[in-house]
Amino acid sequence: MAETFAHRRYDQLRHALLTRQEVALIDVREEAQYAEGHPLFAVNIPLSKLEIEILNRVPRFATQITVYDNGEGLAKMAASCLNALGYTDVALLAGGLNGWREAGGELFIDVNSPSKAFGELVEHRRQTPSLPAAEVQKLLQSDEPVVVLDSRRFDEYQTMSIPGSVNVPGAELVLRVRDLVPSPTTKIIVNCAGRTRSIIGTQSLINAGIRNPVWALRNGTIGWTLAGLQLEHGQSRRYGEVSETALAQAARNAREVADRAGVNRITLPQLQTWQQQGTHTIYLFDVRDASEYAEGHLPGSRHVPGGQLVQETDHYASVRGAKVVLIDREGVRANMSASWLAQMGWDIAVLDGLTADDFSARGAWVPEVPPLPAREELEPAQLAGLLDAGQTQVLDFTTSANYVAGHIPRAAWLTRALLAIKGAQVLPEAERYVVTCGSSLLARYAIDEVAALTGKPVAVLKGGNAAWKATGLPLEQGETRLLQQRNDRYRRPYEGTDNSTQAMQAYLDWEFGLIAQLDRDGTHGFNVSL
Structure confidence by residue, pLDDT tens digits, 246-274:
999 999 999 999 999 999 999 999 999 99
Q: How confident is the model at residue 498 (pLDDT cuts 50, 70, 90)?
A: confident
Residue 327 pLDDT exceeds 90: yes
What is the homologous superfamily of the domain 377-470 according to CATH? Rhodanese-like domain (3.40.250.10)
Question: Helices (H), strands (E): how many in the chain?
Answer: 25, 20
CA gap 353, 324 in Å, rounded = 17
pLDDT value at residue 494? 84
Q: For 411-461, how does the pLDDT look when each residue is reduced to its tens digit (9 = 90+)?
A: 999 999 999 999 999 999 999 999 999 999 999 999 999 999 999 999 999
Q: What angle do CA 154, 157, 160 make, to 5 degrees?
A: 155
CA gap 225, 203 in Å, rounded = 24
Q: What is the CATH number of domain 253-356?
A: 3.40.250.10
- Give 479: exposed, middle or buried? Use CB within 10 Å, 0-12, 13-18, 19+: exposed
DSSP assignments along 305-325, one per residue: -HHHHHHTHHHH--SBT-EEE
CA gap 336, 67 in Å, rounded = 33
CA gap 409, 407 in Å, rounded = 6
End-to-end, the C-alpha distance of the chain in Å comes to 55
The predicted model scores a pTM of 0.96
Phi/psi-derived region of residue 469, left when phi > 0, alpha when psi is between -120 and 50, beta in every other case:
alpha
pLDDT value at residue 2? 65
Radius of gyration, CA atoms only, the chain: 24
3-state secondary structure of 498: coil
Phi/psi-derived region of residue 108, left when phi > 0, alpha when psi is between -120 and 50, beta in every other case:
beta
pLDDT value at residue 495? 80
Residue 392 pLDDT exceeds 80: yes
Listed in order, strand segments (DSSP E) in 372-424 are: 377-378, 392-396, 412-413
Average pLDDT, the chain: 96
Question: If you average pLDDT over residues 132-141, what whole number do you get?
Answer: 98
In degrees and rounded to multiples of 5, residue 74 shows phi and psi of -85, -30
| Secondary structure, 3-state, 195-224 | CHHHHHHHHHHHHCCCCCCEEEECCHHHHH
Q: How confident is the model at residue 496 (pLDDT cuts 50, 70, 90)?
A: confident
In degrees and rounded to multiples of 5, residue 187 shows phi and psi of -80, 140
User: What are the residues whose beta carbons fall under 8 Å from the beta carbon of 427, sequence distance 6 or more?
Assistant: 393, 395, 412, 419, 433, 450, 453, 454, 483
Q: What is the CATH number of domain 117-240?
A: 3.40.250.10
Q: For 16-74, how does the pLDDT look when each residue is reduced to its tens digit (9 = 90+)?
A: 999 999 999 999 999 999 999 999 999 999 999 999 999 999 999 999 999 999 999 99
Contact between 295 and 362 (Cβ < 8 Å): yes
3-state secondary structure of 304: coil
What does each C-alpha distance from 508 to 133, 251, 344, 478 come to in angstroms?
14, 35, 22, 31
pLDDT value at residue 202? 98
User: For residue 210, how many C-alpha atoms fall within 13 Å in the half-sphere facing its CB?
Assistant: 29
Residue 373 pLDDT exceeds 90: no
CA gap 317, 48 in Å, rounded = 20
Residues of the chain with CATH 3.40.250.10: 6-111, 117-240, 253-356, 377-470
Contact between 432 and 423 (Cβ < 8 Å): no
Q: Do β-strands 302-303 and 323-327 pair in parallel, antiparallel, or remain unpaired?
A: unpaired
CA gap 80, 1 in Å, rounded = 13
CATH architecture of 6-111: 3-Layer(aba) Sandwich (3.40)
User: For residue 198, how many C-alpha atoms fall within 13 Å in the half-sphere facing its CB?
Assistant: 26
DSSP assignments along 35-93, one per residue: TT-B-TTEEE--GGGHHHHHHHHS--TTS-EEEE-SSSSHHHHHHHHHHHHT-S-EEEE
What does each C-alpha distance from 7 to 58, 81, 157, 278 come to in angstroms?
19, 17, 44, 25
Q: What angle do CA 158, 159, 164 make, to 5 degrees?
A: 55
User: What are the residues whose beta carbons fall under 8 Å from the beta carbon of 127, sequence distance 6 or more?
Assistant: none
User: What are the residues whose beta carbons fall under 8 Å from the beta carbon of 148, sequence distance 6 or more?
Assistant: 136, 140, 162, 164, 165, 166, 189, 190, 191, 217
